[in-house]
Amino acid sequence: MSTSRVSTPRGAGRPRRVTIADIADRAGVTAAAVSLAVNGRPGVSDATRARIMDIARELDWEPSPAARALTGAPVLAVGMVLARPAEVLGNEAFFGAFVAGLQEVLSTEDYSLQMKIVESTEAEIETYRRWFGQRRVDGVVMVDLRQDDPRVPALEKLGQPALVIGGPGHHGSLPAVYVDDAVATTLLVDHMVGLGHRRIARVAGTAEFFHTAQRDRAFLDRCEELGATGVLQDAGYGAQGAAAATEGLLAEEDAPSAIIFDSDEMALAGSQVLLENGIRIPQQMAVASYEDSALARTHRPAITAIGRSAVQYGRVAATRLLEIIDADRRRPLPDAAQAATGEVRAIDPQLIVRASTAGADAG
């Protein structure tokens, strides 16, 4: 009876948390046996295991994650830091769905997602350092990949499970998951050309993000391949910029007959401008977006868009990250294997054709 203990009611305090020792006492075994039983490890008879499980359920006991973490077990949490104005999150359809996809997979593995919004990239890196330093997370998801991103070398140095969302390229030796923007671009351009458009504009968002440059290149290349004229228009960030860019396009002598916007938000702002200028969509101008959302769907006309299936994206990312975490646990050599798991996974985008491009008589 070495594991029995005096039960100190300690006044009117909260009831003492039930621990592994309580289960062990009740089952007439030691804590170690309970540990073996609940973790599905050999060393206890089936009968004893069943008895222990029953008691645990009855007493409503669950092992303390803190105590487990102390013995080196995974903490069952992954982190994601966002270094952007928080208000932006609310506007971006992509984000919510992505998180949902992440959660869906993480939840089934009993992992939780920890999020933090910070002011700067430095603060983001510092957060990674602390999270791993304190063992608050088993791995992290890094979003908003930029060109020559300082977070990449920082995470490489930490040598901890980290997954980059974005690419291909610019993620160093880190594993990455990305939607193939080149494929997405091809889908959009091909669609427009297929409808008869010969002069196609692309209204591009923040140049800072890696995918913007990638789309630019793919766009011009594909237009050229198909013998169409690609017009590149930089719009900076958000709706404001997109509206201005659209006005700019309309003012041109040889205006395009189709515009591809970088996001749903931009496409809506652009459409608004077209409407105000009496230009009918899709009859006089075809409109499409790289990003789908409820807004794109319910807008009239509904906007043709790339269904990146952000939810699916999130699912793939979570699955991949869990694989990485798992691999990391198996072998204690960080560097070599880190590189080995640095493999990249791409998700194929799909084109969702809607009214904003359908039946256009191109000109």
**CA separation, residue 181 to residues 210, 211, 215 (Å):** 10, 7, 6
Residue 90 binding a copy of itself, by CB under 8 A: yes
E-strand spans in 192-341?
199-204, 229-234, 258-261, 286-289, 304-307
Task: Quote the CA–CA distance of 7 and 285 in Å, as a whole number.
Answer: 78
Q: Draw the binding track, 61-100, toward DNA (x: CB under 7 A; -: no contact).
A: xxxx--xx-xxxx---------------------------
First to last CA, the chain: 89
Task: Quote the CA–CA distance of 220 and 304 in Å, as a whole number.
Answer: 20
Residue 31 binding DNA, by CB under 7 A: yes
Task: Quote the CA–CA distance of 255 and 246 in Å, as a whole number.
Answer: 10
Binding test (CB under 8 A) with a copy of itself, winner from 31, 126, 153, 159: 159
Q: Of 115 and 232, which has the nearer Cβ to a copy of itself?
A: 115
> What single-letter amino acid sits at 319?
T
47 binds, among DNA, a copy of itself, none (CB under 5 to 8 A by kind): DNA
**CA separation, residue 26 to residues 18, 45, 51, 55, 58 (Å):** 12, 17, 10, 7, 11
Q: Which of residues 202-241 bind a copy of itself (CB under 8 A)?
A: 238-240
Residue 164 binding a copy of itself, by CB under 8 A: no
Residue 40 binding a copy of itself, by CB under 8 A: no
Residue 354 binding a copy of itself, by CB under 8 A: no
| Helix ranges, 11-91 (H) | 20-27, 31-38, 46-59, 65-70, 86-91
Task: Quote the CA–CA distance of 274 and 272 in Å, as a whole number.
Answer: 5
CB of 40 to DNA, least distance (A): 10
60 binds, among a copy of itself, DNA, none (CB under 5 to 8 A by kind): a copy of itself
92 binds, among a copy of itself, DNA, none (CB under 5 to 8 A by kind): a copy of itself
Which positions touch DNA (CB under 7 A)? 2, 5, 16-17, 19-21, 28-36, 38-39, 41-45, 47-48, 61-64, 67-68, 70-73
> Binding residues for a copy of itself, per CB under 8 A?
10-14, 17, 60, 62-67, 69-70, 75, 77, 86-97, 99-101, 103-104, 107, 112-118, 130, 133-136, 159, 238-240, 243, 265, 268-269, 272, 275-276, 293-295, 298-300, 310-311, 332-334
